[in-house]
Structure 1
C-alpha cells in the first residue's frame, strides 16, 4: 500500500497487515489538521519504507515534545517515527487507494472541541492510553477486520 503528500514529493510504502485507525481529539491534533481530530495509524517500523522525499521533510516540535513532520514543498503532514517506540505515526488521509481499516479508538475525548461529535464505534480514552495497550488494540482489531472482509 502506498501513500504520499499532496504534491507527491514525499512518498512511502506500507506492508500488510495494515492496523486499525485511531482518532485523536486533543487541541494539538485539531490545530495540526484544522479539523475535529487527527485520524492515523501506528505501523511497525519494519512495515514502513520511504520511497522518496526524505530531503523534503521538515519538522516542528513544541517545547512539550509534540512533533509534526511535513513536506517542505506543499506543507502536508507526513509520517514520522515516534520517539521511544518502534512505530511510525501515519496519517490515514495520505494512503492511496482503498483503505479497509476502521477507527477503533478515540483518544483525548475529555478535551474534544464542543462541536465535535464522536460516533459510537471504538474504545474511548479520556487521555492517551499506554502505548503498548493502544498498539495492541489497533493491531488486534485489524486482524478481525481483515477476516471479516474475506
Structure 2
C-alpha cells in the first residue's frame, strides 16, 4: 500500500499485516486525530517513508508521528524493546485500501455519538491495557 499526507511532503509504503482496519477510541487517539484513530497495522519491516516526520513519545510504550509540514497524522508506533509495530493512519491510503473494520479498542470510553457499522471485535480499556502490561521487556506481539 502507498499513501501520503495532506500536503504530499511525506510519502510512505507498507504491506498490511492483515487486510483489515482497526479503530481506537482512547482519549489520546481522539485528541491526536480529532476523532477515533482508524488504522492499518503494517507488516513488521515493511514500512518505508520519506519526508519531514516528527514524533512524540505519548506513553511509556508508544509514540505518535505526524507530517511536520501539514500536521497530518501518520502512525502510532510501539516503542517496547523487541517490537516492530506500526499502525498507519488509514486516511493516508486512498479509500483506506478498500479494507473493512474488524476491531475497535477502548470501546468503553468512546463518545456516545461515535458508532461504526457492522459486526467486529470490541475490546475495553482494561482489556487493551492488560495486553500491554503482559508484554515482558523484549517480548514479541
TM bin (shorter chain) = 0.7 to 0.9
Number of the residue aligned with 1:76: 72
| Unaligned residue ranges in structure 1 (runs of 5+) | 132-150
Segments of 4+ moved more than 4 angstroms: 63-66
Q: Could you say if the C-alpha distance between residues 69 and 17 of structure 1 is closer, same or farther in structure 2, counting changes exceeding 3 Å?
A: closer
Asked if 1 retains the 8 angstrom alpha-carbon contact of 2:24 and 2:106, the reply is: yes
Asked if 2 retains the 8 angstrom alpha-carbon contact of 1:3 and 1:13, the reply is: yes
Q: TM-score, length-normalised on structure 2?
A: 0.77
| Unaligned residue ranges in structure 2 (runs of 5+) | 133-141
Asked if 1 retains the 8 angstrom alpha-carbon contact of 2:64 and 2:77, the reply is: no
Q: 2:53 aligns with which of 57, 68, 71?
A: 57
Q: Secondary structure at the match of 1:44?
A: coil
Q: Secondary structure at the match of 2:45?
A: helix
Higher helix content, 1 or 2: 1
Query: 1:84-119 CA distances to partner (integer Å, 9 max, x unpaired)?
Result: 222211010001356121110010011111222243
Pair 1:43-2:42 in alignment: yes
State the Cα RMSD in Å.
2.3
Q: Could you say if the C-alpha distance between residues 114 and 121 of structure 1 is closer, same or farther in structure 2, counting changes exceeding 3 Å?
A: same
Number of the residue aligned with 2:13: 13
Asked if 1 retains the 8 angstrom alpha-carbon contact of 2:63 and 2:77, the reply is: no
Q: Could you say if the C-alpha distance between residues 82 and 66 of structure 1 is closer, same or farther in structure 2, counting changes exceeding 3 Å?
A: closer
Q: Could you say if the C-alpha distance between residues 107 and 12 of structure 1 is closer, same or farther in structure 2, counting changes exceeding 3 Å?
A: same
Pair 1:86-2:94 in alignment: no
Cα distance in 1 for residues equivalent to 2:85 and 2:105: 17
Number of the residue aligned with 2:121: 123
